[in-house]
């Protein structure tokens, strides 16, 4: 059998489960996941190496109607991923009808990448009555031309084998691009930053999570086999700083302990995690801060 390989961009509106799908396909957690929109802020590769194929997924931020410079960057990251890939996997939420954001994605998809092969994937099928699924499929299929369609539940790991098989058939005959032991293109330090932000997104309510960025200040391997990580949580206002720290430091402690568990699981070793909180006024609209945090266009 000839070897197949290709780049597959996973795009869709926020919160449809793109990062959950990436982790599920890889069988390993490389990307942060949370119930809040805009969890993913940078594109990230997830590389699945099989016997006769290598699928190189590009997880992207959710495409949405931006309200900040940060949002503009997120959309840019996602839209940039539409070009130069072999296949576009448009992931949608089967539990809801298409939204204005989905219609916008449809326009972008056909405008930016009119000739790229594409696949529509309905996720969260575990939340849909089986009888309603085909009507939902038709609603989404009306927004995409010449696409094949698959159904999955990334969270329940349903339909993933069939999806993987269909993806292998959809990429070209080509040699592997990456060494077989490479799983992602991000450093552990960057993923650790995302896992800390993931803990914040899960623990904090309301508008605070979106006003929050994580900066890793130190990441050191200690001789005793532990890793030492110091990170700063940047928020936009004093009031948010109070919320993140919590009464008697309780919230920050809970965030730290949830994040530490995830980072330990990823690296397979103990982690000492030190967090502090700092106010950086309106950083989401501050081009200098955005660049410092790595949310700047790379070209
Ligand atoms: N019920 C159900 N929930 C799911 C499924 N897949 C993902 N989720 C949940 O949907 C939420 C969003 O998942 P993410 O993977 O962070 O979504 P995303 O598309 O990467 O979101 P952004 O990075 O913000 O664009 C999380 O709470 C997931 O647990 C699914 O198949 N079924
Ligand atoms: Mg994501």
Q: Above 80 in pLDDT, residue 298? A: no
Q: What is the pTM of this model?
A: 0.95
What is the rounded distance in angstroms from the CA atom of residue 147 to the CA atom of residue 141? 8
Residue 34 in contact with ligand 1 by CB distance below 6 A: yes
Q: Is the CB of 35 within 6 Å of ligand 1?
A: yes
Same domain for 17 and 111? Answer: yes
**In this predicted structure, what is the pLDDT of residue 36?**
92
Q: Atom 27 of ligand 1 has which residue's CA nearest to it?
A: 35
164 and 196 share one domain? no
Look at residue 175 and tell me if it is in a domain. no
Q: Which atom of ligand 1 lies closest to the CA of 40?
A: 23
Are both 54 and 136 inside the same structural domain?
Answer: yes
Of 135, 170, 205, the domain-final residue:
170
Task: Give the CA dihedral 18, 19, 21, 25, nearest 10 degrees.
Answer: 140
- Name the closest-CA residue to atom 10, ligand 1: 17
Looking at residue 299, its pLDDT comes to 55
pLDDT in tens, 134-188: 999 999 999 999 999 999 999 999 999 999 999 999 999 999 999 999 999 999 9
Distance CA 287, CA 299 (A): 16
Q: What separation in Å is there between the alpha carbon of 19 and the centre of ligand 1?
A: 7
Query: Whose Cα sits closest to atom 21 in ligand 1?
Result: 15
Out of 10, 11, 14, 17, give the residue to mutate to test ligand 1, the one with the largest number of ligand atoms within 8 Å of its CB. Answer: 17
Ligand 1 centre distance from Cα of residue 248 (Å): 32
DSSP-assigned letter for residue 153:
B
Spatial separation of the C-alpha atoms in residues 141 and 145, rounded to whole Å: 8
Q: If you take atom 32 of ligand 1, which residue's CA is the nearest one?
A: 124
Residue 299 lies in a domain: no
Q: Work out the pLDDT band at 212, boundaries 50, 70, 90.
A: very high
Q: How far is the CA of 43 from the centre of ligand 2 (A)?
A: 9
Domain identity same for 28 and 107: yes
The angle formed by the CA atoms of residues 186, 188 and 190, to the nearest 5 degrees, is 60
Nearest CA residue ID for atom 9, ligand 1: 17
Q: pLDDT at position 3, please?
A: 98
Domain count, the chain: 2
Q: What letters, b where the CB count within 10 A reaches 16 and e where it falls short, cover 164-177?
A: eebbbebbeeeebe
| pLDDT (average), residues 188-201 | 96
For the stretch 244-281, pLDDT in tens is: 999 999 999 999 999 999 999 998 999 999 999 999 99
- CATH number for the domain spanning 22: value is 3.40.50.300
Are 117 and 212 within one domain?
no
Distance 224 CA to ligand 2 centre (A): 34
| Distance from chain centroid for Cα 175 | 26
Pocket perturbation via mutation, ligand 1, pick of 23, 25, 33 by most ligand atoms within 8 A of CB: 33
- Closest CA to ligand 1's atom 24: 38
Cα 72 to Cα 107, 169, 179, 209, 287: the distances in Å are 17, 34, 33, 17, 11
The whole-number pLDDT of residue 209 equals: 86
Domain span including residue 271: 188-292
Name residues with Cβ closer than 5 Å to ligand 2, which is an ion: 18-19, 39-40
Q: Which of 121, 137, 170 is the last residue of a domain?
A: 170
* Residue where one domain finishes, among candidates 140, 170, 200: 170
Residue 46 CA to ligand 1 center (angstroms) comes to 17
Tell me the C-alpha distance between 143 and 130, whole Å.
Answer: 21
Alpha-carbon distance 76 to 40, whole Å? 13
């Amino acid at each position: 059998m000839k070897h197949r390989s290709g780049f597959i961009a996973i795009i869709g509106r926020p919160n449809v489960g793109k990062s959950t799908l990436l982790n599920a396909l890889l069988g390993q957690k490389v990307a942060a996941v949370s119930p809040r929109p805009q969890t993913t802020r940078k594109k990230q590769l997830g590389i699945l190496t099989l016997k006769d194929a290598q699928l190189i997924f590009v997880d992207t931020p959710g495409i949405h109607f931006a309200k900040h410079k940060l949002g503009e960057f997120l959309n840019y990251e996602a839209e940039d991923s539409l070009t130069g890939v072999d296949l576009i996997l448009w992931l949608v939420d089967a539990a809801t009808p298409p939204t204005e954001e989905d219609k916008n994605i449809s326009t972008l998809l056909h405008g930016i990448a009119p000739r790229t092969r594409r696949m529509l994937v309905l996720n969260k099928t575990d939340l849909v009555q089986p009888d309603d699924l085909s009507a939902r499929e038709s609603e989404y299929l009306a927004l995409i031309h010449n696409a094949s369609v698959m159904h999955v539940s990334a969270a329940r790991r349903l339909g993933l084998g069939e999806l993987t098989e269909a993806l292998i058939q959809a990429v070209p005959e080509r040699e592997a691009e990456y060494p077989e032991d490479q799983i992602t293109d991000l450093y552990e330090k960057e993923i650790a930053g995302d896992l800390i932000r993931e803990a914040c997104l899960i623990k904090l309510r309301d508008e605070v999570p979106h006003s929050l960025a994580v900066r890793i200040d130190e990441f050191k391997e200690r001789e005793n086999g532990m890793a030492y990580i110091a990170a700063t949580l940047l928020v936009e206002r004093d009031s948010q700083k109070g919320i993140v720290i919590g009464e008697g430091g309780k919230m920050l402690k809970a965030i730290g302990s949830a994040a530490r568990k995830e980072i330990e699981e990823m690296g397979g070793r103990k982690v000492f995690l030190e967090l502090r909180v700092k106010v950086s006024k309106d950083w989401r609209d501050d081009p200098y801060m955005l660049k410092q945090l790595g949310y700047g266009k790379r070209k």
